[in-house]
């Protein structure tokens, strides 16, 4: 066992941070951004880009699908907001464009995808529920991606139905969210039922047993936690009040590879 101290800043870092109209992104992401597809100007955080590419490889996806928008700086998000306001008005803009500082695109963990065709709408690209796009959608959770703004969840997410917007949250969180019909907002409440050290949420990925649990941030000097260091583990802040801990119990023959982070 070893003891880790998680700082209060770490609450606002990691693959699972919730960024929406009430939870602002505190730190601008600039490091570890890489192009998503070959010769693409669309950037994502390194691990999200690697898993997106391996999913696309599996379905030969980059032949038919194009990245429309990945990481955005604060000023780019401001520009998109201003342009949309001018062109489409307030109601449309509030439905489909996040207020600067509150866009998932600023995390480098979100991507808008479009079916490759002559005309592509930048704000509402076409990504239908059939063909290659649906094939992508069905496989996305196994690679750590969720369709972030599904139909019917507009009241919870605060964003209109966006079939084209995918968010990297990592494995196994994307599967847990999808299998339980959750969105990232409700997952944050769901996982609080599984407090670290008591009762984890247990699931299986690639023959590894995974324990997921919530750890509340405590104290001004950080949160101390005892970790079984014989296990692979990852910790992400939730950008609200604590951390989500993921522990992987794998056999030697079954290393989770890329999916572990
Ligand atoms: Zn988007």
Which helix (H) or strand (E) segment holds residue 166: the answer is strand 162-168
- What domains are defined for the chain? 1-16+183-252 (3.30.200.180), 17-168 (3.30.1380.10)
Q: If you search the block for the tokens 């572990």, which residue do you land on?
A: 260
**Dihedrals φ, ψ of 146, to 5°?**
-125, 150
CA of 149 to the centre of ligand 1 (A): 9
Q: Rounded distance, CA 74 to CA 261, Å?
A: 26
User: pLDDT of 154-211, one tens digit each?
Assistant: 999 999 999 999 999 999 999 999 999 999 999 999 999 999 999 999 999 888 899 9
CA of 183 to the centre of ligand 1 (A): 15
| Residue 3 bridge partners (DSSP) | 226
The radius of gyration computed from the CA coordinates of the chain, to the nearest angstrom, equals 18
For position 228, what pLDDT does the model report? 84
- Burial of residue 77, with CB atoms counted within 10 A of its CB: 0-12 exposed, 13-18 middle, 19 or more buried: buried
Q: Which residues are catalytic?
A: 162
For position 261, what pLDDT does the model report? 66
Q: Is 245 left (phi over 0), alpha (psi -120 to 50) or beta?
A: beta
Helix/strand/coil for 107: helix
User: pLDDT of 108-136, one tens digit each?
Assistant: 999 999 999 999 998 899 999 999 999 99
Q: Rounded distance, CA 174 to CA 146, Å?
A: 6
The whole-model pTM stands at 0.94
8: closest CA among 221, 224, 244?
221
CA of 13 to the centre of ligand 1 (A): 20
């Amino acid at each position: 066992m070893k003891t880790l101290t998680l700082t209060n800043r770490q609450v606002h870092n990691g693959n699972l941070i919730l960024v929406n109209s009430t939870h602002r992104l505190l730190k601008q992401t600039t490091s570890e951004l890489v192009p998503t597809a070959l010769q693409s100007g669309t950037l994502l955080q390194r691990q999200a880009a690697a898993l997106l590419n391996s999913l696309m490889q599996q379905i030969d996806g980059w032949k038919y699908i194009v990245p429309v928008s990945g990481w955005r700086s604060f000023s780019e998000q401001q520009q998109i907001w201003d342009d949309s306001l001018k062109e489409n008005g307030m109601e449309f803009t509030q439905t489909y464009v996040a207020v600067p500082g509150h866009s998932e695109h600023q995390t480098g963990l979100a991507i808008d995808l479009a079916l490759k065709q002559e005309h592509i709408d930048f704000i509402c690209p076409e990504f239908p529920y059939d063909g290659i796009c649906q094939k992508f959608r069905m496989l996305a959770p196994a690679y750590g991606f969720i369709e972030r703004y599904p139909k019917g969840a507009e009241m919870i997410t605060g964003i209109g139905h966006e079939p084209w917007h995918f968010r990297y949250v990592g494995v196994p969180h994307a599967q847990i969210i999808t299998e339980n019909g959750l969105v990232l907002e409700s997952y944050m409440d769901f996982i609080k039922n599984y407090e670290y050290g008591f009762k984890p949420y247990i699931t299986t990925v690639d023959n590894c047993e995974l324990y997921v649990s919530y750890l509340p941030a405590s104290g001004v000097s950080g949160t101390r936690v005892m970790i079984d260091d014989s296990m692979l583990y990852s910790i992400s802040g939730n950008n609200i009040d604590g951390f989500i801990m993921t522990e992987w119990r794998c056999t030697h023959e079954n290393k989770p590879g890329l999916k572990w982070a």
